[in-house]
Amino acid sequence: MGGVLMTVCMPIRVFQIAQVNVGQGIVPHDRIEFFKSWSVDMLRNLTIKQRLIMRQSIIAILLLVVGIAGIVGMRNINARLEAMYDHDTVPTAQIAQIDRLLLHNRLAIANAMANPTAAEIQKNTAEIEANLAEIDKTWGEYMAGPMDVDRKMLVEEFAEYRKRLVQEGLRPAIELLRAGKIDAARKHDLDVIRSAFLPARESIEALMKFQIDAAKKRGADAAYEAALMRNIVIAMILFALTFAVVMAMRLIKAITGPLNHAVTVANRIANGELGNDIEVKSHDEIGKLLGALRIMNEKLVKIAMDVRTNSDSVGSAAKQIAGGNADLSQRTQEQASALEQTASSMEEMTSTVKQNADNARQANQLAASAREQAEKGGTVVSRAVSAMSEISDSSKKIADIIGVINEIAFQTNLL
């Protein structure tokens, strides 16, 4: 029991000593602040999983300590109750039995002298001897029990008085009664038995009072220990509940605070606000999430800057392309004007070619006439044939020129 109480009360005692030392200036405040900051940093370095495991482990340990304290307390109370029964209740009953038998012996002596018939004397003396045997047996059982110094003194005193009462008082009285010496028995009762019985009765009553007082003390000790154990268990239960509530609140705050901050940062990033100062204060899962959001925010800022730079480059290139397009448009207009002039020239050439074609047809007609006339004269015919050959060659050339002109005119119309 003492070990359990030391285990239970040690943290409270250490805390009280720490408070006293702080109040007296023995422990510097900077060490306490260092311990607080160290504990906070240690908790920040733990993951949420580790915090939950630590919280549940501490609560389980507290429950285990409460259970062990309760079991040990019940065992000790049961041991005290057993000791009370063995050391107090049974011995008290034995002393009460001896006291009752002594009274019965005193009454049996009185009954035998009051009604001194042979039957009554035999009956009462037999009862006295049976009571004496029962007293010896009960006294032997009582003497086999535990003995302390005070009880031993009372026991020795009663044993001396009982021995005198039995050997000097009751045994001679039985012999006198059985011998029919009633007057001598009465005188023996007045002179010896009464003077021996009163000290023996007072001694047995003192021993009875000692047993009752010992039982009361043992019962009071058991009640005190039960109350102490009850208060310790209640205090430990309250401490465990308080610890569980405080740890739950701190855990909720440690989770919801950074998580709300992470949600706020994510919403800002989603709305296009990239100038976020994301501070990571822990190394748990939420701290890793905030770290990832910070890296994402930095990369998005870099991407936005790259996009702005590329946009400027694209704008400059677009301006250059616009200038080139304007120059190309101007050149296209100039080429269109030149093509119009070419088309006009082509139309004039087409008219000229048509006139040449008409002239060629007329030449053909003239050649036909000349052929007819050539038949009339060899010389004239030869010249006419030669002229016709030349005219035919000229006609082919003219036809080629007309084809070229038609193609040019077709392409011009397409433009």
- CATH class of segment(s) 46-263: mainly alpha
For residue range 19-65, what is the model confidence (pLDDT) as tens digits? 444 444 444 555 555 545 555 556 666 777 777 788 788 888 888 88
Predicted TM-score (pTM) of this structure: 0.49
Average pLDDT, the chain: 76
Structure tokens at 162: 């009982």
The pLDDT value recorded for residue 17 is: 43
Per-domain boundaries in the chain: 8-43, 46-263, 285-414
Whole-angstrom distance, CA of residue 83 vs CA of residue 70 = 20
Q: What is the mean pLDDT of residues 360-388?
A: 64
For residue range 341-366, what is the model confidence (pLDDT) as tens digits? 766 766 776 676 577 667 657 756 76
For residue range 266-277, what is the model confidence (pLDDT) as tens digits? 887 777 776 666
DSSP string, 12-81: HHHHHHHHHHHHTTSS-HHHHHHHHHHHHHHHHHS-HHHHHHHHHHHHHHHHHHHHHHHHHHHHHHHHHH
Q: Nearest CA to 12 among 239, 287, 224, 279?
A: 239
The pLDDT value recorded for residue 31 is: 55
Taken as a whole, the chain contains a residue count of 415
Helix (H), strand (E) counts: the chain: 11, 0
Report which of residues 124 and 150 the model is more confident about.
Answer: 124
Tell me the C-alpha to C-alpha distance, in Å, between residue 67 and each of 7, 55, 187.
Answer: 13, 18, 70
Percent of the chain with pLDDT over 70: 72
Tell me the C-alpha to C-alpha distance, in Å, between residue 221 and each of 79, 118, 215, 218, 415.
Answer: 12, 55, 10, 5, 125
Structure tokens at 164: 């005198």
Q: What is the mean pLDDT of residues 57-84?
A: 83
The pLDDT value recorded for residue 23 is: 44
Q: What is the mean pLDDT of residues 164-184?
A: 90
Residue with tokens 């102490």: 228
The pLDDT value recorded for residue 104 is: 92
The pLDDT value recorded for residue 297 is: 73
